[in-house]
């Protein structure tokens, strides 16, 4: 049996025991047609604090949530997390990282990551050659080529 070492599991367990919830940035990631969509929940953050960086294949999303209260308050309950959010993802090959777009609305950050043209599915043409004739290109998405008449065939030889 393999044991997985998680250096943060014990810290999270201790923090939860004291009523402190760790800040998370839950995400959904799905493919829709020729692009991927990443949806992250970061409610209550200032939209100006959202920072998205791409360093090579590493995508980093940072945001800051602050408590909008004065300094001279006496907390009765303080359960909503404040502080910094950070989520890092490694992007695979075949993505058009030059055209990533982002939008933030109602506490939800949406990133749209297009698939690069070279990674999209495409048809490959197959060249065939019948005995005694010139090569003919066959494509599954092309109309069948018209067959030459006997007179045209005789002129070619």
* 89 located within any domain: yes
* 1 located within any domain: no
pLDDT of residue 107: 93
pLDDT of residue 155: 45
pLDDT of residue 146: 46
CATH classification of the domain holding 107: 2.60.40.790
* 103 located within any domain: yes
pLDDT in 10s for each residue of the chain, 157 residues: 445 445 555 555 554 454 444 467 899 999 998 899 999 999 989 999 999 999 998 999 999 998 878 788 888 888 888 888 899 999 888 888 899 999 999 999 999 999 887 766 778 889 888 766 666 665 555 444 444 444 444 444 4
pLDDT of residue 37: 95
* 6 located within any domain: no
d(CA 23, CA 29): 19
- Write the CA distances from 22 to 7, 16, 28, 43, integer angstroms: 14, 8, 19, 15
pLDDT of residue 78: 82
pLDDT of residue 149: 46
pLDDT of residue 135: 61
* 41 located within any domain: yes
Q: Is the dihedral of CA 6, 10, 11, 12 positive or negative?
A: positive
Query: Residue 82's domain spans which residues?
Result: 25-67+78-119
* 50 located within any domain: yes
d(CA 63, CA 102): 13
pTM: 0.61
Tally: H helices and E strands in the chain: 2, 9
DSSP 39-97: EEE-TT--GGG-EEEEETTEEEEEEEE---S-SS---S---S--EEEEEEEE--SSB-G
* 108 located within any domain: yes
Domains identified in the chain, total number: 1
* 12 located within any domain: no
| Cβ-contact 111, 27 below 8 angstroms | no
């Amino acid at each position: 049996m393999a044991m997985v070492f998680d250096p943060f599991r014990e810290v999270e367990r201790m923090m939860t025991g004291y009523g402190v919830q760790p800040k998370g940035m839950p995400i959904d990631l799905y493919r829709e047609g020729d692009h991927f969509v990443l949806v992250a929940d970061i409610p209550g953050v200032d939209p100006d604090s959202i920072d998205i960086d791409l360093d090579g294949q590493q995508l980093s999303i940072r945001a800051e949530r602050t408590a909008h209260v004065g300094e001279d308050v006496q907390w009765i309950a303080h359960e909503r997390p404040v502080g910094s959010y950070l989520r890092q993802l490694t992007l695979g090959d075949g993505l058009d990282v030059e055209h990533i777009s982002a939008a933030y609305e109602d506490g939800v950050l949406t990133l749209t990551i297009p698939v690069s043209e070279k990674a999209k599915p495409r048809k490959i043409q197959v060249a065939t050659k019948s005995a005694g004739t010139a090569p003919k290109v066959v494509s599954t998405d092309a109309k069948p080529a018209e067959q030459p008449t006997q007179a045209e065939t005789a002129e070619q030889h």
